Amino acid sequence: MRFKQKIIKLPLIDSKDDSFRITTQKNIDHLMDSIDNMGLLNLPLLIEKSSGYKIVCGFRRIEACRQLDWSDIEVRILDSDTKRLECIKYAITDNSLQRPLNLIEQSRSINMLCDFFKDFSSLGKELSDMGLPDNQSIIKKINELCHLPGSVQNGILSNTISLIMALELGRLQQEAGEGFAKLFETLKLSLNKQREILTLVKEISLREDISILKVIENNILQKILTNEDLDRNQKIRKIRTYLKQRRFPVITAAEKEFEKHLKKLKLGNGIKLIPPDNFEGSIYFLKFSFRNLIELKDRKASFDAFIQNPSLRKIFDRLT
């Protein structure tokens, strides 16, 4: 690395130029305390531009010094003929030496390097040397992340959205992807429940010929989300129930009808009537559980009363 060390005026540094920004961290309170007490132990790295200086490494350090009302700052300045690829490597290395890079930081790093390599195979070798993922399939997926809407990226950073789900949301229209990201951030759903809700909403959208965003912004769903009397798990249950009812209205109606008559059967303990899956078949199952002969006789008595109950006839009438 060829650089010179000098003290410059802080206003000469262009903090708005994010060309080499890797970090996603925004909080600088702890950093300000450290710099205020100990000074700058690791000097920022800059490169000269037509007017002033561009930051290569040290975005947060420089911002902390601004917040501390410093007028001057000691920095390292790269030779003006330093290649862009070298600057990118310095930026990635500076960040990765401080901590493992998160997925968005990895994505920014990969995206910056892509222009300098003919394929993901040669890029993978370079990434491996820098301690980043070198599998070509993973590289392609991670590379897409920094192009996703901010709300989806924030979901990745807060661990409420996985890599796989983020890529699925990225294939949707931006507004729809952002809508799901906000929904998932609010509910803190598992991946399986995220997939379930995503599938239900997409199928409702197709079935009713409306946009995905319109389904998400439905008043009923939004009232559930904003209901302060419901905890997170209650909201999740109600939203899943609502979406299932809307996606499968016939099945939902059949379920309600079945439950209504099932209550009137008064089966009691040890007997369970199981309907066909999705009420699409004609075969029901009757399940008995008992521990001894006394309980078995009791189940038989319950069964005899059960088959005489008129509510049972009403359940089977739906088959004809």
Report d(CA 127, CA 110) in Å as an integer.
8
Quick count: other Cβ atoms within 10 Å of Cβ 234? 12
The residues, ordered by sequence, that sit 6+ positions from 187 with a Cβ below 8 Å of its Cβ are 193, 225, 232, 235, 236, 239
For residues 35 and 97, the answer to whether their CB atoms sit within 8 Å is no
> Is the pLDDT score of 157 beyond 80?
yes
Q: What is the DSSP string of 240-298?
A: HHHHHHHH-HHHHHHHHHHHHHHHHH---TTEEEEPPGGG-SS--EEEE--SSHHHHHH
- State the pTM of this model: 0.77
> What is the total residue count of the chain?
320
- Amino acid 318: pLDDT: 64
Closest residue by Cα to residue 57 from 17, 18, 90: 90
- Amino acid 73: pLDDT: 95
CA 318 from centroid of its chain's CA atoms: 43
- Per-residue pLDDT band for 319 (boundaries 50, 70, 90) equals low
> Is the pLDDT score of 244 beyond 60?
yes
- Lowest-pLDDT choice from 164-173, 200-209, 277-286: 277-286
pLDDT tens-digit readout, 45-100: 999 988 899 999 999 999 999 999 999 999 999 998 899 999 999 999 999 888 89
- Per-residue pLDDT band for 43 (boundaries 50, 70, 90) equals very high
- Amino acid 267: pLDDT: 83
Domain residue extents for the chain: 1-99, 100-147, 150-247, 262-317
Is the C-alpha dihedral spanning 174, 175, 176, 179 positive or negative? positive
Task: Give me the percent of the chain exceeding a pLDDT of 70.
Answer: 98
Output the CATH code of domain 1-99. 3.90.1530.10
**What is the overall mean pLDDT for the chain?**
90
pLDDT tens-digit readout, 253-312: 777 788 888 888 888 788 888 888 767 677 888 898 999 999 888 888 888 888 888 888
